[in-house]
Amino acid sequence: MIIEIDDPADPRLDDYCLLNDQAARRNREGDEFFIAEGYVSIDRVVDSGHELRSVLVTPSRVERITERVPGLADGDTPLYVMTRDLMASAVGFDLHRGVVASAQRRPVASIDDVAASNWNTVAVLEGLNDAENVGVIARAARALGIDALVLDPTCTDPYSRRTVRVSMGEVLHMPVARATTWPDDLERLHAAGFTTWAMTPAADSVDLWEAAASRPPDGRLAIVVGAEGPGLTDATMRATTHRVRIPIHPEVDSLNVGHAAAITFAAIARPR
């Protein structure tokens, strides 16, 4: 359903207001919606089965977006069309891709959901407040067969525009759970049969390849990684069952957190 809009204050555009303003942005985990920008991200919203609330494009993008998104030209989903200047005024900055969509959020899973699920391998992220790190780890997790992401209470919104884009939309294709009591929720994972690996460069840890070789093939495993710089908190290290390190050059301090996660995912996916 194509709708031309010429008032940037039109309330039908509320989902898109102040997209780029971290302080004022309305796209948060408590919101009903999330925002995807660019053709690839919007394609992934659609193929992941998330329901589109609306799409907003400049006039030159109408043809291409209606070709890509079934039912947009003549279905119920509004396709709002605005000039680029008006769009910039509505969203609060110049959206150079000229195509953005709002989609309905699904409820984030709980730790109880993780416990009750059939997910065997999960990636647990602590303190990752960088949208790109969460996005790139989600992409690697899905590519390498991890069943779900679990975020501690301080991790950034997994459905932020940048996270969705950097994940190449993969974050939309995997379950995401949010822990609420941290790090105590790790105990609930243990009670549900999970072994937990704290990934750390610390010397008093098990080599990744040994840990991967000695793990029960069908056992449940949670890989716990912390933010670049501080790494995992002491409380989380104490709350995990194992400490695991990726062997690195003795003069090098650490790996990038995304690299450490990806190598670990690949190591446990390796056929034995």
Start-end of H helices in 144-207: 161-166, 185-191
Interface with a copy of itself (CB under 8 A): 136, 139-140, 142-145, 168, 170, 173, 209, 246-249, 251-256, 258-259, 262-263, 266-267, 269-271
Q: Assign residue 193 a region: left if phi > 0, alpha if psi is -120 to 50, beta otherwise?
A: left
CB of 6 to a copy of itself, least distance (A): 36
Q: Report CA dihedral (23, 100, 257, 113) to the nearest 10 degrees.
A: 90
* Residue closer to a copy of itself, measured from CB, 84 or 259: 259
CB of 261 to a copy of itself, least distance (A): 9
Gap between the Cα atoms of 98 and 85, Å rounded: 10
Gap between the Cα atoms of 206 and 132, Å rounded: 29
Assess contact for 234 and 200: CB atoms under 8 A.
Answer: no
* Residue closer to a copy of itself, measured from CB, 40 or 237: 40
* Residue closer to a copy of itself, measured from CB, 132 or 187: 132
CB of 175 to a copy of itself, least distance (A): 14
* Residue closer to a copy of itself, measured from CB, 145 or 219: 145
* Residue closer to a copy of itself, measured from CB, 98 or 169: 169
CB of 270 to a copy of itself, least distance (A): 5
CB of 234 to a copy of itself, least distance (A): 23
Assess contact for 80 and 13: CB atoms under 8 A.
Answer: yes
CB of 119 to a copy of itself, least distance (A): 14
* Residue closer to a copy of itself, measured from CB, 45 or 115: 45
Q: What is the CA radius of gyration of the chain?
A: 21
Q: Order across the sheet with 2-4: list the strands.
A: 2-4, 79-81, 52-57, 99-104, 33-37
Q: Which two tokens stand for residue 258?
A: 């995304």
